[in-house]
Amino acid sequence: MSEKKKRTPAWDGNKAGTAEKTGKAETAEKVVKAGKAGKAGNVVKAGNAGNAGNAEKAEKVVKAGKAVKAGKAGKTSGRRGLNYAYLDEDGKRLVRRALIKAVCVPGYQVPFSGREMPMPYGWGTGGVQVTASIIGPDDVLKVIDQGSSDTTNAVSIQKFFRKTAGVEVTEKTSAATVIQTRHRIPETPLKSGQIMVYQVPIPDPLRFLEPREGEAAARHANREYGILYVKLYEDITRHGEIASSYDYPALVNARYAMSPSPIPRFDNPKLHMSPALHLFGAGREKRIYAVPPYTSVVSLDFEDYPFRPAKSGRACELCGSETSFLDEVITGDQGERIFVCSDTDYCAGRREKAADGEKETRGGG
């Protein structure tokens, strides 16, 4: 018996519920429950140490090494009358559990019982629930919509978290700890410790050709991804090349095929071996999946038609970047158009730098 216990891995010990671990778990809970002392007791179910242990793990995994400062959390309360980051604590716990599983099984779509959010489906409810479950008061949030942080959707989500979680918001990729996005991965390389949260409309890459959920699940379970190649075959047959330019399926960790949400295939390579943690939330479909740091993400292709990230062959007319993803912008009634960086922060940063360089040069001269 004792021998058996010795062999039990540490995290199993959590489940067993040793006093020490339970204590810690409660602390973790309290931290998360910051500002809601009255309710905390109810939520932390005494005797349900296994859950608490999981919750603790969720915190650890999700925070990816970021220490939660209990003191600060206590002081920074969300909006009066609302839960911290809007989502109630049980809801957050559900999402976190799904996140743990998602991180443990990269690319696998974990079902979760999503909550109603104060916005319609299709506006990023999946991403918002993930963000709400991982965000802490010391986080710095950036929200991207269509590559920019000043569009309606991005602005309202930023506002939402500023109000409910009291977090600082930023447009700067490098300054953000959590980045919620819909269409883009920032051009500025991500760093270890940063978390990307994606709003996903249709999480299953097999949906297009296999609408039966059960059969699609069986195909994932058995790594049968032939029909994804059927899709690529169709593309080449119809367009002479693989024409899917968004939501381009990729194999995660050489195991699960993943739909990387509506990011352009240009961004797919940024997922491969990325130092950041990538979390995907589909609110309507109630699925969560993840690409942990330093995980292989390989875009599907044929040997004779290899994957190529789309390149426009142009340079941004504002910052001159030749490597970034460009948007076409109509500038006049006669159809005048320019191509500019889709990532506004990246573009602005480059222009600033260029301006600084000029100043410096001037100052020096």
Partner 1 sequence: MLLQENHPSAMTEPLIRAEGITKRFGDILAVDGVDLELYPGEVLGIVGESGSGKSTLLNILSGALPPSSGELFYRGRDGTVRDFFKIRERERRFLLGSDIGFVHQDPAAGLRLKVSAGANVAERLLSGGLRRYGEARLRASEWFSKVELPLDRLDSRPEEYSGGMRQRLQIARNLVTGPRLVYMDEPTGGLDVSVQARVLDLVRSLSSEFNLAVILVTHDLGVARLLTERLLVMKNGRVIERGLTDQVLDDPGEPYTQLLVSSVLGGA
Catalytic residue list contains 316? yes
Q: Amino acid identity of 251?
A: L
User: Is 218 among the residues that bind partner 1 (CB under 8 A)?
Assistant: yes
Report the distance separating Cα 291 and Cα 274, nearest Å.
9
Number of residues that bind partner 1 (CB under 8 A): 20
Nearer to partner 1, 118 or 211 (CB): 211
Q: Is 339 in the site for partner 1 (CB under 8 A)?
A: no
Q: Which of 1, 19, 152, 222 binds partner 1 (CB under 8 A)?
A: 222
For residue 111, the surrounding DSSP H or E stretch is strand 110-111
Q: Which lies closer to partner 1 via its Cβ, residue 138 or residue 234? A: 234
**Residue 273 contacts by C-beta under 8 Å, 6 or more apart in sequence?**
294, 295, 296, 297
Cα 323 from Cα 166, distance rounded (Å): 36
Stretch of residues binding partner 1 (CB under 8 A), selected from 153-161, 219-227, 268-276, 290-298: 219-227
Contact call for residue 232 and partner 1 (CB under 8 A): yes
From the list 183-191, 218-226, 257-265, 351-359, the region that binds partner 1 by CB under 8 A is 218-226
- Smallest gap from residue 271 Cβ to partner 1 (A): 21
The residue range among 81-89, 153-161, 232-240, 284-292 that interacts with partner 1, by the rule CB under 8 A, is: 232-240
Q: Does 303 bind partner 1 (CB under 8 A)?
A: yes
Does 233 sit near partner 1 (CB under 8 A)? Answer: yes
Cβ of 18: how many Cβ atoms within 10 Å? 14
Rounded Cα distance between 144 and 198, Å, is: 10
CB 321 within 8 A of CB 346: yes
- DSSP secondary structure letters along 148-177: BSSSHHHHHHHHHHHHHH--EE-S-TTT-S
Between 11 and 229, name the residue whose CB sits nearer to partner 1. 229
Residues 110 and 289 sit within 8 Å (Cβ to Cβ): yes
In the complex with partner 1, the residue whose CB is nearer, 226 or 364, is: 226
- Mapping DSSP to helix (H, G, I), strand (E, B) and coil, where does residue 326 land? strand
Q: Give the list of residues 6+ apart from residue 359 with CB closer than 8 angstroms, or none.
A: none
C-alpha distances (whole Å) from 110 to each of 87, 263, 285, 298 are 19, 20, 11, 20
Query: Please, what is the angle between helix 89-104 and helix 125-134, to 10°?
Result: 100
From the candidates 91, 107, 114, 166, give the one annotated as an active-site residue: 107
- Nearest CA to 281 out of 191, 162, 157 is that of 157
Catalytic annotation on 104?
no
Distance, CA of 160 to CA of 226 (rounded, Å): 42
The nearest distance, CB 162 to partner 1, in angstroms, is: 46
Catalytic member of 226, 347, 349, 364: 347
Select 9 or 306, whichever has its Cβ closest to partner 1.
306
236 near partner 1, judged by CB under 8 A: yes
**Binding range to partner 1, per CB under 8 A, among 132-140, 144-152, 165-173, 231-239:** 231-239
Q: Which of 2, 152, 237, 334 binds partner 1 (CB under 8 A)?
A: 237
Q: Which stretch binds partner 1 (CB under 8 A): 13-21, 114-122, 266-274, 297-305?
A: 297-305
CA gap 278, 197 in Å, rounded: 6
Minimum distance between the CB of residue 263 and partner 1, rounded to whole angstroms? 24
Alpha helices, H only, the chain: 2-7, 10-16, 19-32, 37-43, 49-63, 70-75, 89-104, 125-134, 152-165, 213-221, 226-239, 268-271, 344-364
3 part of the interface to partner 1, by CB under 8 A: no
Which of 82, 209 has the CB closer to partner 1? 209
Closer CB to partner 1, residue 222 or residue 361? 222
- 347 a catalytic residue: yes
Q: Using the rule CB under 8 A, which residue among 224, 253, 255, 315 binds partner 1?
A: 224
List of residues contacting partner 1 (CB under 8 A): 209, 218, 221-222, 224-227, 229-230, 232-234, 236-238, 302-305
Q: Which residues are catalytic?
A: 107, 316, 319, 341, 347
